[in-house]
A and B are shown apart, each in its own frame.
Chain A
Amino acid sequence: DVKVTQSSRYLVKRTGEKVFLECVQDMDHENMFWYRQDPGLGLRLIYFSYDVKMKEKGDIPEGYSVSREKKERFSLILESASTNQTSMYLCASLIPGVTDTQYFGPGTRLTVL
């Protein structure tokens, strides 16, 4: 079974705080992704990683950074949280094959006050 976990389901932080969102997969996948979900906009890609220490910007990387020190863990970092980063954050891991399907973690609903 595919298993992608995220460190928190709900998180409340204050403006200016540094925030870490963790994503872990136990399937030795190379490709991992961070998306944010906002009403009416669907999911938008923030960053993705195709191997340890390798990362690429997605469509909305501003205000975020990522870290991939080990293959199983992909972290999203909000250097200085702002209220417009209040959102649902979803991590995904890709199973390579004919379909290259991404499987998602349960999501973290972040509120920045």
Chain B
Amino acid sequence: AQKITQTQPGMFVQEKEAVTLDCTYDTSDQSYGLFWYKQPSSGEMIFLIYQGSYDEQNATEGRYSLNFQKARKSANLVISASQLGDSAMYFCAMRGYGNKLVFGAGTILRVKS
């Protein structure tokens, strides 16, 4: 069975600083995909970034980058130059059988001015 663990229930970061949100995963599959989603207080889930298990380079999307360490089974999200609008819940997820997503419990990020 696949499992995602996010050990940080909540994080604070100063505006304009970088922050790392942790995600570890467990799977016996050789081919898998890892996703990060952002959920603002309004409730919608916003796709941020994707990393495939065979991708040799870490994924980047603007201020978001994914620190993928396959041997350690970790897929941490790095947000550079934090903004007040980054305050939200962040979920790490893994794609499994039938394209189902398995989610972690989430991390609440608060950006301080």
Contacts and interface: CB of A to CB of B under 8 A. Distances in A.
Interface of A: 9, 31, 33, 35, 40-45, 48, 50, 56, 58, 88, 90, 92, 94, 98-107, 109
Interface string B62-98: 0000000000000000000000000000010101001
Contacts of B28: none
A105 B42 CA distance: 12
A45 B43 contact: no
B101 A102 contact: yes
A74 to B, nearest CB: 14
A35 B37 CA distance: 14
B25 interface: no
B50 A40 contact: no
B30 interface: no
A99 B33 contact: yes
14 contacts: A33-B100, A35-B101, A42-B4, A42-B91, A56-B98, A58-B100, A92-B45, A98-B52, A99-B33, A101-B47, A104-B37, A104-B45, A104-B46, A105-B44
Contacts of A100: 33, 95, 99
Contacts of A48: 98-100
A56 to B, nearest CB: 6
